[in-house]
Every structure is written in C-alpha cells, then in structure tokens.
Amino acid sequence: MKKVHVGHRQTQRIVLSGRRIPTAPACPGFAYVETAQLDSWHATHDRHPLAVISFGGAASSAVDCPSISLHLPHLIGPAQVEVWTSTQPVCTFRKDQFSAAVNDEVAAAFLTVEEEPGTSLERTTYAAYHRLLGELRELGYPHLWRAWNYFPHINEIDNGLERYQRFCIGRHQALAEALPDFPDSLPAGTAVGTVSGPLHILILAGIRQATHLGNPRQVNAYDYPQTYGPRSPSFARATIGRLDGDAHLFVAGTASIVGHDSRHPRLPEEQTRETAENLRVLLNHANSMTGTDFIGSHTSACYKVYVRHPDHLHVIHRTLRDTSLFLDRVLFLQGDPCRRELLVEIEGLIISD
C-alpha cells in the first residue's frame, strides 16, 4: 500500500458554546459522573464537554458533544459516565460514523463501525484506523496520545484465527503505514471485548507529541514474539502528555503479564496482585523518567477495572483494596481482556500538578 500524505483541508468548525478565548488554558478534564447527574454536573461546572462515554446503556443527556455507548456493564454502584471536558470552547465535527471534538491542544476522535458479513475483522480494523488517522491528520492533531478499542467476541476463533489477532493485524498495518517513528510513536492502548456491539475506536490525539513509556517488568507489546499472533499489538504501556502545566499519565490496559507471559491462569486474586505490581512498577518508572511524582498526594487518578467473569468481582475488589494504589474513582466494568486466560485488566489516568 502506497503512503498517502493528505494536506490540511479546510473543515467547517462548529463552535458549540461560548466564544473562543485564545488565552484560556486548554486543559482537558476527565471525570466519572453518575448518569442521572450528568446534566446538573454540566450546569455547575464551568467546562465545555469534549466527549461522553457511557457503559451498558446510552446516556440520555442534553449535553451536545460526541458520545459513545459501550456494552461493558457496570459491576458496582450506580451507572456512571466518563466525561471529557475542556476549559476552552470546543469545536465538534461529525461525518457519518466519525465524530470529534477539539480544543487548541487535543482532539477526542471516535469511530464506530458495524462489522459486515464477508469482511474480515482485519480489513474492517485497517479501514477504520486508516480513516481515523487521516481525519486526525487533516484536523491538525497527528500525534496519538491514547487509544481505546472495543469489539465483541474478542477471543472467538474466526476461520482459524482469534478475532483479537485479526484486529491486531489490521491495526498494525494502518499504524505502521501512517505513523512516523512507528512503533516508538505508539500511544498507550486498551483493547477489550464488549458483550455486544460494533467496533468502537476512541483516540485522544494532540497537536504536540507526547512521551511513550515501557514497563520494566514487561516486554513492549509491539515486540511480542509471533506466538501471540501474526502481528504484535500496537500500543505502549503508558503515555505522558503535558497540558496546562499538569502532567497526564495515561496507563494502558495492564494485566497479569510478566515479560510476555501470562501469569496465574485461572487465579483471579493472584492475577490482580500481579497487575497491581505491574502498575506500581510502571508508576515508579514514570516518576524516574520524568521527575514528576505520579504517586504522591498532589495527584488525582481514575481507573477502570475490566473483569471477565462477574463472579470474580469480589475477590478482585478485595485484592485491590489491600493495595495502596486505588482508593477512589474506580469503575468496575464487565469486559474481556484480549488474552483468554486473563481475568482482569486495569487502566488509568493519573494527573500530577
């Protein structure tokens, strides 16, 4: 496939709310909000919505911004949505299955694709990534900061190859073609199986580069041997981006993998401890690489815990409570980690001011 470079195209910008105030900081915010409180939350926060992500049911809200609904049922507490906001006014774009919201620093871009019978998941994934990366380049946000991928039946075998492995082939092809400095420019990622639904790809991208990190306990996923699939998973263990003076540490989906081996098959408690240890080492590594403290008291964090079997919720929850990592702001969602033996996966965002 030939490399195509697309020039900057004029796209009509729709300013949703407020006037553009160029001197205002462009810092995005990330919060979990009870679904029932979403409209009053927005009314009382002086922030412009970039995106709303709901889990297990559409959020009915008057908030006008790109929104996406993922079939990842909540396992604890009242339904919450994830809200991305901007202190700056936001411009939104919509073209069929593509939607984006941008400020002067970052873009939140979503693409939703229904799989069609007769089209392989690798082709569907390649086309989706090709489109998303092209749109982001045209909008002026070519640098990837964070990617999330969701699709159903992730561990099912389809014509001799697992659907996750097919997904990895298409993603690898599109990113290797489009990204300068592949694989070093790959961002933190998540790939989790939903209960049902289309392929959803969510990308946070920037006008500036972010810094991508590995985990000293783990082989970089893009260097995994071919025993895990014909093409390696295209993501970094963590990405750090600086916005309005705050360092944002985006932690990729982290599971019970040491080196490149899955550890503790069938043991949810041990997998949870191993995952927490991977997170602890990653946070310390991020601290030492950047001189920023992502563990101390001036940080705020939100995490998502993806649980394969709802029966394991209590042991996973109890095990995490015994680690110092998580106290508040954790969503427990039913979702399938990408390797079938993995029972739990945790991602996070830690902001240090």
Residue ranges that bind ligand 3EB, judged by CB under 6 A: 149, 189-191, 221, 233, 235, 252-253, 255, 257, 337-338
Backbone CA torsion sign across 172, 175, 176, 182: negative
Measured from each CB, the residue nearest to ligand 3EB is 253
**Residue (85 or 256) nearer to ligand 3EB, CB:** 256
**Residue (141 or 167) nearer to ligand 3EB, CB:** 167
- Kindly state the smallest distance separating residue 338's Cβ from ligand 3EB, in Å: 4
Q: Tell me which residue of 280, 265, 276 sits closest to 343, measured CA to CA.
A: 265
**Residue (34 or 184) nearer to ligand 3EB, CB:** 184
- Return the residue matching tokens 């000293």: 216
Q: Tell me which residue of 220, 237, 245, 322 sits closest to 285, measured CA to CA.
A: 237
- Kindly state the smallest distance separating residue 189's Cβ from ligand 3EB, in Å: 4
Rounded distance, CA 259 to CA 261, Å? 6
Rounded distance, CA 65 to CA 55, Å? 16
**Residue (115 or 345) nearer to ligand 3EB, CB:** 345
**Residue (117 or 225) nearer to ligand 3EB, CB:** 225
**Residue (190 or 271) nearer to ligand 3EB, CB:** 190
- Kindly state the smallest distance separating residue 342's Cβ from ligand 3EB, in Å: 7
- Kindly state the smallest distance separating residue 210's Cβ from ligand 3EB, in Å: 16
Rounded CA Rg of the chain:
19
**Residue (91 or 205) nearer to ligand 3EB, CB:** 205
- Kindly state the smallest distance separating residue 50's Cβ from ligand 3EB, in Å: 22
Do β-strands 330-334 and 299-307 pair in parallel, antiparallel, or remain unpaired?
parallel
- Kindly state the smallest distance separating residue 7's Cβ from ligand 3EB, in Å: 30
**Residue (51 or 175) nearer to ligand 3EB, CB:** 175
Q: Tell me which residue of 193, 199, 191 sits closest to 335, measured CA to CA.
A: 193
- Kindly state the smallest distance separating residue 235's Cβ from ligand 3EB, in Å: 4
Structure token digits, residue 197: 């639904």
- Kindly state the smallest distance separating residue 27's Cβ from ligand 3EB, in Å: 26
